[in-house]
Amino acid sequence: MNDAKKNSVLIVDDENANIMALTHILNSEYTIYAAKNGHKAIEAAEKYLPDVILLDIIMPEMDGHAVISALKDAEKTRDIPVVFITGLSNAGDEEKGLVLGAADYISKPFSPAIVKLRVRNQIKMLNQLRMIELLSMMDQLTSIQNRRGFDNRMEMEWIRAIMENAFISFLIMDVDKFKVYNDTYGHPQGDRVLQTVAKTVTQSLDRPGDYAARWGGEEFVVLLPNTDSNVAMTIAEKIRLNVSNAVIPCEDGSETRVTVSIGVNTQAPQQNNSRDDFIAEADKALYKAKESGRNRVCSPD
């Protein structure tokens, strides 16, 4: 298995022997990171974002309880499952760890079979949660991202644009006269339209960072990081043309076509700018496109 595709484990222990023993047990299945004290553990967790952290309780300066408290207080690391590794057998110590957010315990001396099983259980649960999260951000009809998925991506790209003082562009599009189409051909055919538009939009995007989503109903959006207004308008026009040329077959063998109207907005956001205002300006441009006759691309000005 390629290391890049492996799940990862951060081992935190002040004893080299324990780190070596756990690495030997887990190295064939996971990418392993190690830290010998609490402060280094927090740094490594923030840097590598491991899938699971194996954390010794008794360490000098900063013990495991203090480390897990710091990890759970930080947004980047709070969801990483922490498994305590300990020689303590006191029920009170175990209860304290669980209260602080520990996912499980591994006792010393290590049993390789138990270590593997407990780590695998955490990885399995984590991967299942990630799949559920991924599905929750997917539009089931069109198989592209939904509004929730878009909101997550938008937040990330907006922050990046502010940090890098870069342009970001946003396209919002609406299938023209979709209600009339639905009333004429029926909802199953309307679903085919939405699936065709979604596929056409995504196939019109050539760059890895470009991102399409279904906004809701017959509306779709595209996020274009590091993209100025001229390039954004060109991409929007390409999408408009490709959609208008797409053939949508009907069950009776006939063929139909649809068009989209697209609103485009571009900004190099600053710290005090609002994402909602940015999106609202693109929405205004969309209405401008529809009022101007549909099947066209417009910017706010």
Cβ atoms within 10 A of the Cβ of 102, count? 23
264 phi and psi angles, rounded to 5 deg: -125, 135
CA distance 99 to 96: 5
Angle formed by the axes of helices 16-26 and 112-136, nearest 10°: 60
Write down the catalytic residue from 15, 46, 94, 218.
218
> For residue 107, how many C-alpha atoms fall within 13 Å in the half-sphere facing its CB?
6
Contact criterion met (CB below 8 Å) for 301 and 266: no
29 carries an active-site annotation = no
What are the strands of the beta sheet with 211-216, ordered from one edge?
A: 211-216, 219-225, 168-175, 260-267, 297-298
Torsion of CA 236, 238, 244, 248, to 10 degrees: -100
101: which 2 tokens?
């957010």
Positions marked active-site: 218
